[in-house]
Structure 1
Amino acid sequence: MKSRIFLLAFLSLVALNANALTIEITEGTTAASPIAIVPFEWQGASPLPEDIASVVESDLKRSGRFAPIDRKDMLSKPSSSAAVIFKNWRLLNVDHLVVGRIRPTTADEYVVQVQLVDVLREKQLAGYSYPVKRTSFRRLAHQISDMVYEQLTGEPGAFNTRVAYVTSSGGKQPVFNLYVADVDGYNAQSVLRSNEPIMSPS
C-alpha cells in the first residue's frame, strides 16, 4: 500500500510531503550545548510507567540546541541537586544537568520532582514538583523539556505542542485520515476520516 503523509503543524498549517511522522534533527548547530539528563529515581515498587528522562533527552536532542551525553558515560546518577558531585560532570564537559525523582501517591497518580542544575556555577537554576496521572507521563516530559529549553535559551519551547498529519491509502478509492499527535509522533489519534482529500486541519 502506497502512503502519502502530509505533516501539518497547527501554528503554520504548512503541508509537507513525508514518508513517516518521525521528525529527527540529524545535524545540530556547532554550538550545541552538552547536557546530561540523568534517569529519574523511581520510588515505586511496580515498573516505571514511562521513562520521562528519556523523552526529555530525545526532545532536547531533536531541537539541535543541545547534545545530551550517553547514560553509560555518566559517572554518577544523582536524583537531586544536593547529591550532585560537580567535578564528575566537569570531567565530562557537561554544562547543565537535569535530575529528578518520581514517587507514586495512589495507584494512578504520581509526583515528579525535577531540578535543572548549572554545573559551571554549581547552582540550581530551577526546581519544580508536578502532580501527574499515569496517562500523562509523556505530556509532562514534554513540559519539562519546554522548561529546560526556555531556562537555557531564553526562548519558549515547543515540545508540548501537537501536530496534525494526513495519510491516504492507495488504490482507485483512497481513504484519507487526519491524525493529531504529539510533536514527536506519539499518542496519535484519528480525528477525521474522508473519501475526499484533506489538505489542512479546519
Structure 2
Amino acid sequence: MASMPMVSRRKALLTTFGSAALAAAAGPAWAQFRIEITGVGATQVPVTVVDFRDEGAAGTGIAGIVRADLQRSGLFRLVDPGAMPVPMDERSLPQLGDWKARGSDALVAGSVTRLTDGRFDVRYKLWDVVRGEELIGQSQTVVAGDLRLAAHRIADEIHQNLIGEAGVFSTRIAYVVQQGPRYALLVTDADGENAQVALNSLDPIISPAWAPDGRQLAYVSFESQKAVVWVQDTASGTRRKLADFPGSNSAPAWSPDGQFVAVALSRGGLTQLWRMPAAGGTPLRLTESRSIDTEPVYTADGKQIYFVSDRGGGPQVYRMPAEGGSAERVTFDGDYNISPTLSPDGRLLAYVSRVGGSAFKLMTLDLSTGTVRGVTATRDDESPSFAPNGRLIVYATRLEGRDVLMTTTLDGRIKTRLLTSGADVREPAWGPFGR
C-alpha cells in the first residue's frame, strides 16, 4: 500500500491560502539514512583518502565517512589509490610525485588507535601533492560514540585547507519523520546518520528552526490539537511553550542574536507576523495588513525580515524592516512562491515556486541581479534550508512514492538523496556551525 503524504509546512500553507485541504496524518522505528549521490560538479579538487590504519577495529570506517562527506559537497573528486603503495598512515613518507602522476592533487592518510581507557586516538595528515608538502596533521581523542563526529571534523579541516572555506560536515540537521501514525523530530549529523530523537508524537510536527547557537530548536507541534510553537533544549530535552495564543501559532524564526523569535499568529483574525522574546513574554505585532502574512526569516544582520504574503493576490515573498513597516515585493516570477530562506551571505534567496499549475520546485533568486534559477528536476519540493557555509541546500521532496530529503549544490549539479526504509521524511532545517 502506498504511504500517505505526511503533514508538511507547504500543505499547511495551501490550507492557509485556501488552495487545498490539509493532508491526513498517516511507526516508530526511525530508520537510519543511506546516501545516494548523483551528478558531477563543474570544478573539483581530485583527492585520495586511503583507509585509516586499524579503523576496522573501531567499528567505524573513518576514511569512508570522510570520502562520502567530500564527495557530497560537490567540490571534490575522489581518486582511487589503485596499485599505489597502501596501506599507509599519518607517519608514512609518501612519494608525492607518484600520487600526482596518479591524478591526485591531495592525499589523506591516518590511523585509529584504541587507548587503555576505551577511547580512540584518531590521527591524520593531509598532503598537497601538487606542491609536494604536508598541509596539516591533526589528532583527536574521542569516545566510541564520537568516531563519526571525528571523521566529519577531519572532512571539515580538509575542506578548509583545500577550498579556503569552512566545511559543514560536522554540523547537524533537524527534520521530521513519519512512520504510520507516529511522528518524530530528529536531529542527525549532516549526512543523516547518528539520529537523536528530540520529540515523539502522535500528532504532526512542522517548521523546526535552530537557534543561532545551535543549543535550542523551535518547532510547531499539533499535540494540543492546534498549532503551538515550542522551544526545546537540544542537549537536555527540556522544552517550553513559546506561543500558545488563541488561533494558530506557527512558522518560528530566530533573530540572529537569539533574543527574539518571529512567529505567525492568527490571534484576532488573519495570520500576521509577530515578534516574541525568545525567553517568553508579550508578543509585538510586526505586520498590520489585510492579508495573510507568514513564514518569516531574518537577514543575517537582523535588520530585515523576508516573509510570505498574499497581499498582491497570491502568495509571494516580501521583505520589510525587522521592526515592522513598509514591505516590498521580492519575487515576481510565478504566481505562487513560498518558503523563503536566505543564504548566510545574504546574496541568494531560495524558495519554492509553483510551476505549470501543479509542480512545486526549488528555485534560487540572486538578490543583486534578479536572476531566478531552478535547481531541481522533482515536482514536489518543500522546506529549503541553506548549509551554514552557503554551499548546499537541503530540501524535502517526493520520489518513488516516499517523502525524502535531498541536498543540492547551488548550481544543481550534485544532489544527494538521503534514503530511509519505510519512513517519510520532511521539514529539514540545517543547523549552525558548532556543536
With the length of structure 2 as denominator, give the TM-score of the two structures: 0.39
Provide, for residues 68-108 of structure 1, a one-character-per-residue CA deviation record: whole Å limited to 9, x for no partner: 1235x251222136421113212211000111122222252
Q: Could you tell me whether the CA contact under 8 Å between 1:7 and 1:21 is conserved in 2? A: no
2:87 is the counterpart of 1:75: no
> Bigger relative contact order, structure 1 or 2, given CA contacts below 8 A and separation 6+?
1
Cα distance in 2, alignment partners of residues 4 and 137 from structure 1: 35
2:182 is the counterpart of 1:175: yes
**Pick aligned residue for 1:198 from 202, 205, 216:** 205
Q: 1:99 to 1:3 in 2, by over 3 A?
A: farther
Instruction: Identify the residue that residue 152 of structure 1 maps to in structure 2.
Output: 162
Q: 1:183 to 1:4 in 2, by over 3 A?
A: farther
Instruction: Identify the residue that residue 340 of structure 2 maps to in structure 1.
Output: none
Cα offset, 1:125, TM superposition: 0.5
Letter in 2 for 1:190: V
**Pick aligned residue for 1:58 from 37, 44, 68:** 68
Secondary structure of the corresponding residue to residue 58 of structure 2: coil
Cα distance in 1, alignment partners of residues 185 and 70 from structure 2: 27
Q: Could you tell me whether the CA contact under 8 Å between 1:4 and 1:167 is conserved in 2? A: no
Instruction: Identify the residue that residue 196 of structure 2 maps to in structure 1.
Output: 189
Q: 1:58 to 1:105 in 2, by over 3 A?
A: same
Q: Could you tell me whether the CA contact under 8 Å between 1:40 and 1:100 is conserved in 2? A: yes
Cα distance in 2, alignment partners of residues 116 and 153 from structure 1: 13
Secondary structure of the corresponding residue to residue 38 of structure 2: coil
Cα distance in 2, alignment partners of residues 128 and 6 from structure 1: 45
Secondary structure of the corresponding residue to residue 140 of structure 1: helix
Cα distance in 2, alignment partners of residues 6 and 27 from structure 1: 30
2:140 is the counterpart of 1:135: no
Q: 1:7 to 1:96 in 2, by over 3 A?
A: farther
CA RMSD of aligned residues (A): 2.6
Instruction: Identify the residue that residue 3 of structure 2 maps to in structure 1.
Output: 2
Q: Could you tell me whether the CA contact under 8 Å between 2:127 and 2:136 is conserved in 1? A: yes
Instruction: Identify the residue that residue 425 of structure 2 maps to in structure 1.
Output: none
Q: Which has the larger radius of gyration?
A: 2
Letter in 1 for 2:135: L
Instruction: Identify the residue that residue 12 of structure 1 maps to in structure 2.
Output: none
Pick the structure with more helix per residue.
Answer: 1
Cα distance in 2, alignment partners of residues 184 and 132 from structure 1: 19
Q: 1:75 to 1:186 in 2, by over 3 A?
A: same
The sequence identity of aligned pairs, in percent, is: 34
Q: Which runs of 5+ in 1 are unaligned?
A: 9-19
**Pick aligned residue for 1:33 from 41, 45, 48:** 45
Cα distance in 2, alignment partners of residues 3 and 136 from structure 1: 36
Q: 1:86 to 1:169 in 2, by over 3 A?
A: closer
Cα offset, 1:3, TM superposition: 6.0
Instruction: Identify the residue that residue 88 of structure 1 maps to in structure 2.
Output: 98
Count the aligned residue pairs. Answer: 185
Q: 1:181 to 1:76 in 2, by over 3 A?
A: same
Cα distance in 1, alignment partners of residues 169 and 6 from structure 2: 21
Secondary structure of the corresponding residue to residue 164 of structure 1: strand
Worse-superposed segment, 78-87 or 141-150: 78-87
Q: Could you tell me whether the CA contact under 8 Å between 1:5 and 1:165 is conserved in 2? A: no
Cα distance in 2, alignment partners of residues 118 and 167 from structure 1: 42
Cα offset, 1:55, TM superposition: 0.4
Q: Which runs of 5+ in 2 are unaligned?
A: 10-31, 209-217, 219-435
Secondary structure of the corresponding residue to residue 207 of structure 2: coil
Q: Could you tell me whether the CA contact under 8 Å between 2:121 and 2:142 is conserved in 1? A: yes
Cα distance in 2, alignment partners of residues 166 and 33 from structure 1: 34
Letter in 2 for 1:76: P
With the length of structure 1 as denominator, give the TM-score of the two structures: 0.81
Cα offset, 1:194, TM superposition: 2.0
Cα offset, 1:61, TM superposition: 0.5
Q: 1:40 to 1:21 in 2, by over 3 A?
A: closer
